[in-house]
Structures are given as structure tokens and as C-alpha cells.
């Protein structure tokens, strides 16, 4: 019996998944113990990431195979505006410059998202699912402990909300539909790379990274 392409990808990457949901950056954000300098780095780098991600998602809408898939993907664009505004408000109150040069991992990761569009819709929608599922699962893992306790709650709430969960589930259904026979080797590789990039992204904002 088929378990669905999205589930098959998750099962293959299970060892990495454990590192995502227990990542020290996520844990420290959840319990509020995160060094404020690391949070500042995250704000700046994630702002760059979301700008790159929006271009990627728009490109994916452009290569969607049918209007239904395009509907689902395009629905992900509007919440990004609210995320960007959240970043900009928070950055302004912390007097952070959002226009500086990103860290190498941020630039490499966003470029990887973008470059996956050239590998076709199947691979690119896999990349999207990897990035979004990683974010949802990690923040959902600390949600219960963070409410009313972490100063970073608005961010945790955003990526562990029911609305975000619904979007990630809709992307999983697109993935199942586009690869009914299960993931191809190219899809498995892309999914795995995204999870690894996500882990590196958190490592880099947590510890700081230079060129």
C-alpha cells in the first residue's frame, strides 16, 4: 500500500528530523533563553530568507501544472507579507539594519530554493514542502512550552499555527498528486538537502557565521 509521497520523504529523512525538532536554537527560542544577539541575527537573516523564498514561491506558481496547484501555492504568498512586516517592526524596535549583506548559508540556501525551479515542478514543490514542513514541525515542537513564557512567542505562534499547518498539509497533497508512484531519486535528494540547509541555517544564526 502506498503511504503517500510526502510521508515517504519524511520517513527517509527521519534521522535529520530529530535534529530539527530538538535544535538548540529552536529550544532556546522556545524557552526564552536565547541570546538576544542570536535573535537579532535570526531576524536579519530570516528577513533575507523570506524575500528569497517569496521569489521562489512566485516562480513555483509560474510553473504549476494546473490551476488548482497554482491556487494552493499562491495562497502561501499573502501570509509572507505579514511575516515580512513582523520582521520589519521587530527590527525597527531593535534598531537593526535589514539591508546588510546576508551570511553565506542564508545566501546559499535561498539560492538553492531558487535554482530548484530549473529542475522542474516536481523537484521544486518537494523543496517547498521540505522547507515548510521543517519550519512547522520545529516550532510546533516548542509551541506548548513557549506560550506566555517566551518573548519570541509571536514568531513561534506564526509558524506553529493551525493556519500554517493547513498550508503545509495542502502542499503535501500537491506532492502526493504530482508523484503518485512515490518520490524519485531527484526528489529524495532535494528534500534531504533542504533539511540539511535548514539545520545549517539555524546553526549559523545561533552561532554566527562569517564569509
Partner 1 sequence: MSASRLLLAHSSPLWPRVLKHPFVHAVADGSLDRDAFARWMVADYAYNLEYRRFLAGLITIAPTSWDADVIAEGLPSHKGDIELIRQVAVRHGIDLDVEPGPTVIGFSAYLHSLLQRGYEVALAALFSSEMVYYDGWSSVRGQASWENLYWPFIETWSSQFFADWIAGLSRLIDASAPDGPSMPMFVAFDRVVRFELLFWTGIYAGETW
Residues forming contacts to partner 1 in the complex (CB under 8 A) are 55, 59, 104-105, 107-112, 114-116, 118, 193, 196-197, 199-200, 211
| Closest distance of CB 114 from partner 1, Å | 4
**CA 61 and chain centroid, separation:** 17
| Closest distance of CB 101 from partner 1, Å | 8
Nearer to partner 1, 34 or 195 (CB): 195
Nearer to partner 1, 143 or 196 (CB): 196
| Closest distance of CB 111 from partner 1, Å | 4
Nearer to partner 1, 30 or 183 (CB): 183
Q: Tell how many helices (H) and how many strands (E) occur in the chain.
A: 11, 0
Contact 6, 129 (CB under 8 A): yes
| Closest distance of CB 44 from partner 1, Å | 17
Nearer to partner 1, 104 or 151 (CB): 104
Enclosing H/E stretch for 38: helix 36-62
Contact 38, 25 (CB under 8 A): yes
Contact 141, 28 (CB under 8 A): no
101 DSSP assignment? P
Nearer to partner 1, 112 or 153 (CB): 112
Determine the Cα–Cα distance for residues 177 and 108; give it in Å rounded to an integer. Answer: 29
Contact 42, 106 (CB under 8 A): no
| Closest distance of CB 56 from partner 1, Å | 9
Amino acid at each position: 500500500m502506498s503511504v503517500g509521497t510526502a510521508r515517504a520523504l519524511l520517513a527517509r529523512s527521519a534521522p535529520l528530523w530529530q535534529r530539527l525538532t530538538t535544535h538548540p536554537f529552536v529550544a532556546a527560542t522556545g524557552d526564552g533563553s536565547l541570546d538576544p544577539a542570536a535573535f537579532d541575527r535570526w531576524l536579519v537573516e530570516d528577513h533575507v530568507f523570506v524575500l528569497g523564498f517569496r521569489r521562489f514561491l512566485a516562480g513555483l506558481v509560474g510553473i504549476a501544472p494546473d490551476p488548482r496547484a497554482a491556487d494552493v501555492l499562491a495562497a502561501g504568498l499573502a501570509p509572507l507579507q505579514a511575516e515580512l512586516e513582523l520582521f520589519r517592526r521587530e527590527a525597527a524596535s531593535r534598531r537593526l539594519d535589514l539591508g546588510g549583506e546576508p551570511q553565506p548559508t542564508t545566501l546559499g540556501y535561498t539560492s538553492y530554493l531558487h535554482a530548484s525551479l530549473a529542475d522542474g515542478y516536481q523537484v521544486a514543490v518537494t523543496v517547498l514542502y521540505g522547507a515548510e514542513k521543517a519550519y512547522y514541525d520545529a516550532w510546533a515542537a516548542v509551541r506548548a512550552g513557549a506560550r506566555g513564557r517566551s518573548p519570541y512567542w509571536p514568531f513561534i505562534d506564526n509558524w506553529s499555527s493551525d493556519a500554517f499547518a493547513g498550508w503545509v498539509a495542502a502542499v503535501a497533497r500537491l506532492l502526493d498528486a504530482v508523484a503518485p508512484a512515490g518520490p524519485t531519486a531527484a526528489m529524495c535528494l532535494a528534500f534531504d538537502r533542504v533539511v540539511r540547509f535548514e539545520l545549517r541555517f539555524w546553526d549559523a544564526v545561533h552561532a554566527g557565521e562569517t564569509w
